[in-house]
Structure 1
């Protein structure tokens, strides 16, 4: 009976084990696999990460179940994480059975889940590890991953808890305190802020929570409460990065009413070399206000010229908030002064919708928003379309300039985030016109092996003797077709002028039946005029398309043509949207002050903007639905 029970128990346990754990490699293969692991481990610790990766992968290919295999999978996962190849890291980490995973493997797996968007799964994996003993670097990795998960799961107090625990371990405490600052500014309710100020009193985070409570009180015209909180902050001896902001708010709290509900400030280049761009934005703003004022309480635009020498955008923001007492600000347009304006607007607690693409602007604070098509939004839209249409392998042909480098970096990261494959990245001189070598490199023509011709069998006569063919009867060798491209789609981050030169050469040198992916720089008439017949499989994005079938776009285009007798541009469209979002908030009777308007903008969803804007995310970045465009019959058309 005991033998039967043991046999049944053995069968049950065997059925629960992974298949590969029951597959035994020859002893010499196992020994070689273990030796490969040890060599790979040494290479990793010596800093040769690529050689270590190759050696470790050879180790688990030789024998997936050798005694050191789980350690090999863990180390492979760590190398892929350092390379930000999170789906690849997961692929190896999940080969370790759950019951055999070490705390280190669980940590790396949970970190990858968070980085690939499975925030709940990553959090569930990581929380039980808080009591485990890790290195300082891995403990920081654990806490930062839990912070990311908590932020994305709308658990701001939990995120602050993990940041506070990570602070003593971090080399760069300023970046962590800045992250806590952003959370306190825009992610917590008043009650949660009160709780944060109490929980972390005597710390920089607790001081920051009091500062944000004071800001909100001042924005709601509760000057007495704001003054009391700010005096507490400034009386403390706790090291605090934002004490200058506290001093400025304390000065502000002594002033009377400091805004006009009927005014929007505007920062634009109205003179100088960029005045033509400023004029396009101005037209979009004025068209929106003109339409609004026909049926609602009138609103006026107060302009400041950012091209005036010797006057900073910071000073212009103060002029609009203190002298004109505007309710909100639109602009600036150019990146040079955008950061300065955003920083000042946050200190002045005036909602600002920037039209600049300068990185990191909304991160300046919860009063700063941005309505502009960013490089990240273009790449996300393109990659999402490509993956949804079963494109899984990609190559990149990019110019050797800043645009090409930045767009390529974003594209590669996004493709890998979705589990796609980057086959090749080839660059060309910025002013190049001959792309033959680059195209041959993309086709891997240097690696093609010549296939020997098939031997021709002799023919025999009725007596069995070989028939000798005449020279004219000998067949000419068949002309070989170009090889298939080793990728599904080709990304080219350049402008229409250069793409119109590249596209014909792609076809001529053999890249056919491949989807071409492009940025908003492709959306220009000269693209189809010069190379339309070579772009039948092209897909590119833009933030505005005047020929769109969407009713709101058609109405805007008609109004714009009537007012200015020309076609609107993306600058005019984005300005039209920015003005309408502010006007929508200012018409709301419950919006009594600048802080109410800030909250109204932050909660905006379902807006139907002509430039694809539907609202703002938690950081103040515009949530956009870029237009996907293609070329059909020598015309740029919208792809549904």
Structure 2
């Protein structure tokens, strides 16, 4: 009995894959240590897709054909995940996009679910904190479906808040020189530059602004990864992002136990990406234990269970909205880089 994992073990998003795998493996160990699922041992089958849409689409039929796989988790990016969803949907195999915040992710069908906070919520929180710190902003965002949707949510909320957007541009994920657009952004004299993207490109944005263009204003952007902090270095200090988990800020008892177990196994505190991966396996195992560890059992659990263990946000439990197939009650938190580390941030 296995859960299939589509994730980027290699490629430009490999760092995320490594973080996910740590969460997956710890969850699997704990599930099996506690007797498995209805006495059956849980396994994980990994499929490296590089979080690339073409590779996701290609591997999906192989996963469907493996009768031992009762559900699928992944991928890192929403566009890649969505390329595999139709195949899983057609086969009646649950696709659990634990990291997929694109608002359209679950549109494929009733077997596509995500506990991830939607970009509508993330970008409202993002726009709200930006509006408290800046009146005029420039915005640059990654050129893919996720980035475009996230930007539209951010823009709508920024306008509601009365924040003036002085400049906007998208950029390709594999861009190596963002000076042309960032010069234009800087020259509009914004109070802050807001970046909506992933970790590697966000580091490039802030480094270009600080080191090449002499920009000294506020910066909002980045992701809670060691790669972002390492690549951005001192330039990351003070940046504020929306997130879903703080290892040092959580007050939930089971989340604290998770942090302790994770730190003992891997030697560092988990962040957003590790906890969402961990929670994904715990969610599915918990649900299958309430029904049965089969493809149909997983689907039934997501439709009926109302107390899935919640490690993100404020902890507690959560259930799924049956119309959207998204988690009903997980709210984002704010994280700020202080002394080279992300810590939970309360608006001052």
Q: Which residue number in structure 2 is paired with residue 77 of structure 1? A: none
Tell me which residue corresponds to 2:72.
329
Deviation of the 1:577 alpha carbon? 0.6
The one of 248, 251, 259 aligned to 1:547: 248
1:496, 1:616 → 2: CA distance? 34
Aligned partners of 1:384, 1:292: CA distance in 2, in Å? 39
Matched, 1:343 2:86: yes
Do the aligned partners of 1:497 and 1:526 also contact (CA within 8 Å) in 2?
A: no
* Contact 2:245–2:312, Cα closer than 8 Å, also in 1: yes
Aligned to 1:625, the other structure's residue is in SS state coil
Name the structure with the higher strand share.
2
Q: Note the 1:79-118 alignment, pairs <5 A.
A: none
Structure with the higher helix share, 1 or 2: 1
Deviation of 1:578 after TM superposition, in Å, equals 0.6
Q: Greater Rg, structure 1 or structure 2?
A: 1
Q: Which residue of 2 aligns with 1:491?
A: 194
Tell me the residue number matched to 2:59.
Answer: 313
Instruction: Choose which of 326, 333, 336 in structure 2 pairs with 1:621.
Output: 326
Bigger RCO of structures 1 and 2 (CA < 8 A, at least 6 apart): 2
Pairing 1:383-462 to 2, within 5 Å after superposition: 383-385=127-129, 393-398=135-140, 407-416=150-159, 418=160, 420-427=162-169, 431-432=177-178, 438-442=185-189
SS of residue paired to 2:43: strand
**Alpha-carbon distance change, 337 to 562 in structure 1, aligned in 2, over 3 angstroms:** same
CA contact (8 A) 2:203 2:222 kept: no
- Superposition pairs of residues 96-495 of structure 1, within 5 angstroms: 263-269=1-7, 273=11, 277-296=16-35, 297-303=39-45, 305-307=47-49, 312-320=58-66, 323-324=67-68, 326-333=69-76, 338-355=81-98, 357=100, 359=102, 360-372=104-116, 375-385=119-129, 393-398=135-140, 407-416=150-159, 418=160, 420-427=162-169, 431-432=177-178, 438-442=185-189, 491-493=194-196, 495=202
Shift of 1:560: 1.9
Question: Following the alignment from structure 2 to structure 1, what is the Cα–Cα distance between the partners of residues 17 and 225?
Answer: 23
CA displacement, residues 323-368 of structure 1 (integer Å, 9 cap, x when unaligned): 32x4333234465763353222222223221246485331111111
Distance 1:269 1:424, change over 3 A: closer
Cα pair distance change 1:547/1:340, threshold 3 Å: same
2-structure distance, mates of 1:281, 1:400: 22
Shift of 1:265: 2.3
- Secondary structure of the corresponding residue to residue 325 of structure 2: coil
Q: 1:530 aligns with which of 234, 241, 260?
A: 234
Root-mean-square deviation (CA, aligned residues, Å) is 4.1
TM-score normalized with structure 2 length? 0.71
Cα distance in structure 2, aligned partners of 1:372 and 1:579: 14
- Counterpart of 2:274 (choices 572, 575, 595) is 572
CA distance in 2, matches of 1:272, 1:633: 30
* Aligned twin of 1:459: none
Distance 1:311 1:393 in 2: 43
Q: Deviations over 1:21-53 (max 9, x none)?
A: xxxxxxxxxxxxxxxxxxxxxxxxxxxxxxxxx
